[in-house]
Amino acid sequence: MPELPEVETVRRGLAPVMEGARIAKADVNRPDLRWPFPAGMSERLTGARIERLRRRSKYILADLDTGESLLIHLGMSGRMLISGAKLGAFAHDHPAPEKHDHVVLHMDSGARITFNDPRRFGAMDLLDTATADAHKLLSSIGPEPLGNSFDESYLVQALKAKTSPIKTALLDQRIVAGLGNIYVCEVLYRARISPLRKANKITKTSVEALVPIIRQVLGEAIEAGGSSLKDFRQADGDLGYFQHSFDVYGREGAPCRTPGCTSAINRTVQSARSSFYCPKCQR
């Protein structure tokens, strides 16, 4: 499932085409994805102007001039693809419709935004912009890791009573928004913290050090266009390439990249997710 860097990459790709543009027509080609679409979704989107495109955790929100916001979640295989608009030095022509093109936004500029989702684990909803933070999918999400409210003192306080492993704690969206399995593995490797360590047993100094490392890993991943492991594509159809920089994720049995370390990367399963780490460097 796309994590914060992948979703932010998609948002940045969509923004030049969608922000300030009007939806001339919205085609909704099925009644649902993971959940039913809201009533009258096509009619409510058609004619609306997109004021702003923003991200909250792993969700994209398009704020409309109608007072509503279109909430988008990519799910496991969802893609938002642009056609008919110039992206950099290239213009992508409109492709032939595909079987899994579930929602198509025809912009007044002539561009087309297509939500394609073969597995249909994605979601779209329309919600009141003024009360968006109270929506059931957003209300319990913690602070953004790249925002000002996520700092050393906050994380120390949030983890001090957590008896779960640090890997599990950092995946908890109520503690920090948008982090997923890939980037937590990479963060803990750089922090030299074992994913098996209990969160409340980690020293205050080590917890504080996690904050800049989290920001560094996410920033590098965003600049690389995210990580393409299976279905993820950027809005222009290109792959992300941060996966080429993984230190531990997916490298079971490979040598640790820490200079002088002779250990190999281990894999274990925590909460039904694979954790990759160096047993020698990460304590």
* Domains of the chain (ranges, CATH numbers): 4-134 (3.20.190.10), 152-277 (1.10.8.50)
Q: What is the pLDDT of residues 66-95, one digit of tens each?
A: 999 999 999 988 999 998 876 554 556 788
List the Cα angle 61/138/207 in 5-degree steps: 110
Which one-letter amino acid corresponds to residue 187? V
Q: What is the pLDDT of residues 86-124, one digit of tens each?
A: 655 455 678 888 899 999 999 999 999 999 999 999 999
Tell me the sheet residues that pair with 52: 63
Q: What is the pLDDT of residues 230-243, one digit of tens each?
A: 444 445 555 444 55
Percentage of the chain modeled with pLDDT above 70: 91
Catalytic residues, by residue number, are 2-3, 58, 273
Q: What is the pTM of this model?
A: 0.90
